[in-house]
Structure 1
Amino acid sequence: SLEPAVKILSLAILSPDRPDLVLPIPEVGNPKGLWFTLKEGSRYSLKFSFTVNNNIVSGLRYTNTVWKTGMKVDRRKEMLGVFSPQAEAYTHEMPEEITPAGIFARGSYSARTKFMDDDNKRYLEMNYTFDIRKDWPSV
């Protein structure tokens, strides 16, 4: 039987204060340079879109680990579930969060995102950098 094939298509940052920011996932490697900027103390949620081909994927999960100046400051794990192959992309929206605020929260962060299944098969592992600033970047 065929191995399930999961392809993460995009990551969107949704915030009530801003238009949605859709970030395409690079075909190979990691996003180059600063991937995005968030405003301190702002509400946001993440939305993924992905496809599943060949076979059912069970226990698909998302892990995101964030570091600032080499120290781990955040780690999120979310079980996304079981998905059957289909032509249309799936979307999954994470619970809303609030970015940290204050002078010590501002600056550059590095992060690693992973999508894996119950068999620890890795569908995406990506490192990227983002900033938290006093204000949103001008559009």
Structure 2
Amino acid sequence: MDKAENKSALPKNEEEEKQNNGISRKNSEASLLSMDTNEEDDDGNEEEDDDKNVVVLGPQVALKEQLEMDKDDESLRRWKETLLANVDLSEVGENPDPLVTIMNLTISSPDRADLVLPIPFQSGSNSAAFVLKDGSKYCLKFNVTVHNNIVSGLRYTNTVWKKGIRVDYKKVMLGTFSPQKDAYVIELEEETTPSGFLARGYYTAKTKFADDDGKCYLEMDYAFEIKKDWAR
């Protein structure tokens, strides 16, 4: 599928405000590891605060019912027509809950072939799911399927620890996605792993995908390593 077709149905670099739910969504940066250690990260409460600040939007309504309810609101109708341009409404069904599945993660680097990891990662309790080379450029790509209904304000958070000390916390607002047969390919910005002796070693991490309702679609703990060379 063409890369442009895999992105969110709405621009993710703009603030989205709709009268039907009053939500404001803005984009932010994300990375697997950037070694940020600024003072704002020291208390480790960002993820907890995110959960406390979830906007309560009310009960989900089946997609077909939404379209019927909004038929007299021209602005809202046009927005949903744009969002649902590629949706076959005959296959949507009556289930009001969006079904979001994060299928796999691809780690792409110009230094080596793509590494595709099924989710959840298959690694032992004391083993790393993957290895990154220090000082190397990489980007993360997630294959995500959406069925049944629109998922609003899907966001990705990732927290990283080394020897029990948190070294990174990132959150990115991915956007609003309509249901479709094909998976979305969500590509994050290119990053560079830290380099040097102190950067190498064993890390633990937690990745989470949730929406504006606070519904969590994936919460996964795993481990990875940064080494002097790529794993063979």
**What is the TM-score when the length of structure 2 is the normalising length?**
0.57
Q: Distance in 2 between matches of 1:31 and 1:21?
A: 14
The corresponding residue for 2:73 is none
Aligned to 1:77: 171
Residue 100 of structure 1: aligned partner: 194
1:57 aligned partner: 151
Gaps of 5+ in 1: none
Provide the C-alpha distance between the structure 2 equivalents of 1:88 and 1:136, rounded to a whole number of angstroms. 32
- Whether 2:114 is the aligned partner of 1:20: answer yes
Q: Is the CA contact 1:60–1:80 (under 8 Å) kept in the aligned structure 2?
A: yes
**How is 1:113-124 mapped onto 2 (pairs within 5 angstroms)?**
113-124=207-218
TM-score of the two chains, using structure 1 as the length reference: 0.94
| Structure 1 residue 110: Cα displacement | 0.3
Counterpart of 1:89, as a letter, is A
Q: Which has the higher strand share?
A: 1
SS in 2 for 1:104: helix
Question: Identity percentage over the alignment?
Answer: 62
Q: Is 1:39 aligned with 2:128?
A: no
Structure with the higher fraction of residues in helix conformation: 2
- Is it true that 1:5 corresponds to 2:99 in the alignment? yes
Letter in 2 for 1:32: S
Larger Rg: 2
**Separation in structure 2 between the aligned mates of residue 71 and residue 4 of structure 1, nearest angstrom:** 36
C-alpha displacement of 1:75: 1.1
Aligned partner of 1:109 in structure 2 is 203
How far apart are the structure 2 equivalents of 1:93 and 1:23? 15
Distance in 2, matches of 1:101 and 1:127, equals: 24
Structure 1 letter corresponding to 2:218: L
Q: How many residues align?
A: 135
Report if aligned partners of 1:62, 1:113 keep a CA contact under 8 Å in 2.
Answer: yes
Alignment check: 8 A CA contact 1:15 1:43 kept = yes
How far the C-alpha of 1:55 sits from its partner, in A, is: 0.3
> Gaps (5+ residues) in structure 2?
1-61, 63-95
Structure 1 residue runs of 4+, over 6 Å off?
Answer: none
Alignment-derived partner of residue 88 in structure 1: 182
Shift of 1:31: 3.3
- Please report the RMSD computed on the Cα atoms of aligned residues, expressed in angstroms: 0.9
| One-letter amino acid of the structure 1 residue matched with residue 186 of structure 2 | H
Between the aligned partners of 1:45 and 1:32, the Cα distance in structure 2 is 21
In structure 2, the partner of 1:131 is: 225
Give the Cα separation in 2 of the matches to 1:136 and 1:32.
17
SS of aligned partner of 2:199: coil
For residues 7 and 63 of structure 1, the distance between their equivalents in structure 2, rounded to whole angstroms, comes to 16
